Structure formats: structure tokens, C-alpha cells
Amino acid sequence: MEEPNKVVIGLWDHEEVYLHAIEKIRAKGVQIYESLTPFPVHGLEDVLGYRDSRLHTAGFMFGTVGTIVALSFMTWTMTVNFPLDFGGKPYWPIASFIPITFEMMVLFSAWGMTLTYLVRNRLWPGMVPRIYDKRTTDDRFALVFDADNVASDKLKELRDLCMHEGAVEVKDKQFN
């Protein structure tokens, strides 16, 4: 998703008011681009209408890949490439592959999920994250609205709506 250049930012100072404001604003049919809070707010995903994260599905897929890679590689080395007799065990000692397979599964899903998370959230190395308002790491709860290609009277309505729902401050911001 492209980041908008022009945004409207509403700032709240209390989580309860903030949660109610989100419900009201969404009920009016206004799209919320981003929500930023200084700490995890209980029930925020519900009022924002977020779907369940698909990260765990990705994790399952990476884990499956890790399992297949580990098992097939060990099978190939131990049976086709260089069969060795270890203590009279069969050439394909599946039981002794399991711990390594498990480790590889964990490794693949951990790395895969971390990288997926970083890429999805635009946190790759060298990336300068966009800061909408510095006080969201301190004491302000922010809602960010996409203001690109939105008529000015609509924006005024939006600002009024935020103030009406208890925002302590509403401001416009233009990025580059």
C-alpha cells in the first residue's frame, strides 16, 4: 500500500474516549488509514475492524518448507549421496532426523515470520520510518486519515468530527 503524502491527524489523550471515537468515526463511513497508540489498547483491533493477522499462516507455511527441506536433504545425503553406517542403524534412520527436522522447522518459521513482518511493515534496513506525531510514543492516541485527493470541505467535516468526538488536537501534515 502506498503511503499518502497529505494526511489529517487527530490526537486524543484518553484511551476510552479514543476507542469510542473510532467506533463513531467508522460508523460515519470514514476510512481510517492508521492508528497509533503509546501502548497496546485492549479491544483496539475489534473497533478498527481488523481481520486476524495472517502472519501465523505464513509461519505455518515457512515451517512446512523447513520440515521438507531438512527431511529431504538429510534423506538425500544419507541414502543417495554418501550412505554411512552409524552404529548399525539403517541408512535411513528417520527417528534420528526428527530433532534436526524440528530445529529446521523452528528456524525457518522464526526467520520467515520475522522477515515477513519487517517487509510488510516497511521496516527493512535503511528505511526511515515516517513519524506522524512524536507524542504517540508518549501520551497521545492518534488517528491518521488519508487526505490525498479529498475535497477541502470533506476535510473540514472530518476535522470537526474528530473535535466533536473528543480529540484534543487535529492537524494537517504534508510529507515531501
Partner 1 sequence: MNPKFEFTDSIKKALYYMIGIGVLGLLLVFFLYRENNHARFWSNILANTYFFTGIGLFGLFLVAAAQVAYGQWHTLVKRIFLSLSVFAAFGGFILLIIVALGLVNVHNLYAPVTHILHTGQGDPIYTTKLIYFAPAFWLGRLLVYSILWFLFSRGMNNFFARTDQTDPKVYKKSRIISAAFIVVFALTESFISWDVVMSLDPHWYSTLFGWFNFASYGCAALGMSILIIIFLKSKGYLQAVNENHVHDLGKLLFGFSIFWTYLWFDQFMLQWYANIPEETSFWVKRFDVGYFKFTIFLTLIINFAYPLFLLISRGSKRNFKTIGFGAALLIFGHYVDFFNFTFVEPNWNTEAVEAHKEAKLSTENVVLYAQAQQNENAVSDATPVKENTEVVTTAVEKTEGEVHHEEAPVNYAGIGVGELMVFIGFLGVFLYLFFNNLSKRPIMPEDDPFLKECERLEVTYA
**Position among 99, 125, 126, 129 found at the interface with partner 1 (CB under 8 A):** 99
Nearest CA to 63 among 99, 120, 104, 98?
104
Q: Edge-to-edge strand order for the sheet containing 169-174?
A: 34-36, 141-146, 6-12, 169-174
What residues between 44 and 83 interact with partner 1 by CB under 8 A? 52
Binding region for partner 1 (CB under 8 A) out of 19-27, 73-81, 94-102, 158-166 = 94-102
Binding region for partner 1 (CB under 8 A) out of 13-21, 95-103, 105-113, 147-155 = 95-103
Q: From the CB of 106, what's the least distance to partner 1, in Å?
A: 13
The amino acid that residue 7 corresponds to is V
For the chain, give the number of residues: 176
For 3, the enclosing helix (H) or strand (E) is: none
Which residues share a beta bridge with 7? 146, 173
Nearer to partner 1, 28 or 89 (CB): 89
Nearer to partner 1, 96 or 137 (CB): 96
Instruction: Please tell me the number of Cα atoms within 13 Å of 103 on its side-chain side.
Output: 4
- By CB under 8 A, name the binding residues for partner 1: 42, 52, 87-89, 95-96, 98-99
